[in-house]
Amino acid sequence: MIRVAVADDQPLVRAGIRAMLDLADDLALIGEAADGRAAIELARRERPDVLLMDVRMPVLDGIEATRRITSDPATAAVKVVVLTTFDVDEYVYGALRAGASGFLLKDAPPEQVFAAVRVVSAGDALLDPAVTRRLIAEFASRPPERETQQQPALRRLTAREREVLGLVACGMSNAEIAERLVVSHATAKTHVARILAKLQARDRAQLVVLAYETGLVRPGST
């Protein structure tokens, strides 16, 4: 059973998510919060597997709440999926930089929300396809924030690991990476695990951010 919590300042939205999760046999709602600060307290108290987080909330916004949850050792294992009605680049970019493992729009169908929770709970990252396109466009419009040569961790990657990182940044799954590189699924999974360890990234979403921020990967380069 995957333990899920939700943070949203609108009671109707929380009720809708509650009813939605009741439809899935493997998902259980274990807590709700109406603002960002309450979301942090909920994460510390209940330690949900996945926390569905609204962006715009009173007291503390969802992006800052996400940052505090993912940076606190006590709650770092909580996976955050950001839910919002806004597909504006600044929210996508801010949520991922804050440590969110997934990003979905609130009008996503129940099946897509279920899939997001399951994928993120399993340790992968999930982005709404439409939002991903806007995110890549956002990266393309920004100069690299940190040059690759200034990242000692990136220099520890092998040539193959850099190639795999580029494919991860394109949104490929381990299976797709294995097919592209003509290697086994287990080998692709091992490469990704080693990259995560070397770069000290919590999940694939952080790898995407790091790859583009450093200029190691640019839109259209892979």
- pLDDT one-digit tens code per residue, 200-221: 887 777 787 788 777 776 655 5
What pLDDT is attached to residue 199?
A: 87
CA distance 159 to 178: 16
Does 125 score more than 60 pLDDT?
yes
How many residues make up the chain in this entry?
A: 222
Q: Which of 152 and 96 is assigned the larger pLDDT?
A: 96
**Best CA proximity match to 61, nearest among 102, 17, 101, 98:** 98
Phi, psi of 107 (to 5 degrees): -90, 10
Residue 187 structure tokens: 């080998």
What pLDDT is attached to residue 28?
A: 95
The one-letter code for the residue type at 10 is Q
**Best CA proximity match to 108, nearest among 136, 139, 87, 90:** 87
What pLDDT is attached to residue 9?
A: 94
Q: pTM for this structure?
A: 0.73
What pLDDT is attached to residue 213?
A: 74
* pLDDT tens digit sequence for 70-118: 999 999 999 999 887 766 656 777 787 888 887 787 888 888 889 889 9
Q: Which of 134 and 9 is assigned the larger pLDDT?
A: 9
**Best CA proximity match to 100, nearest among 51, 154, 42:** 51
SS3 163: helix
Residue 162 structure tokens: 């850099």
Does 46 score more than 70 pLDDT?
yes
Phi, psi of 173 (to 5 degrees): -80, 170
The percentage of residues in the chain with a pLDDT greater than 90, rounded to a whole number, is 45
Residue 175 structure tokens: 């299976």
Neighbours of 54 (CB within 10 A): 25
Are 138 and 209 a contacting pair, CB within 8 Å? no
Q: Which of 162 and 138 is assigned the larger pLDDT?
A: 162
What pLDDT is attached to residue 148?
A: 45
Residue 20 CA from chain centroid, whole number? 21
Domains along the chain with CATH numbers: 2-138 (3.40.50.2300), 144-213 (1.10.10.10)
The one-letter code for the residue type at 5 is A
Mean pLDDT of the chain: 83
What pLDDT is attached to residue 207?
A: 82
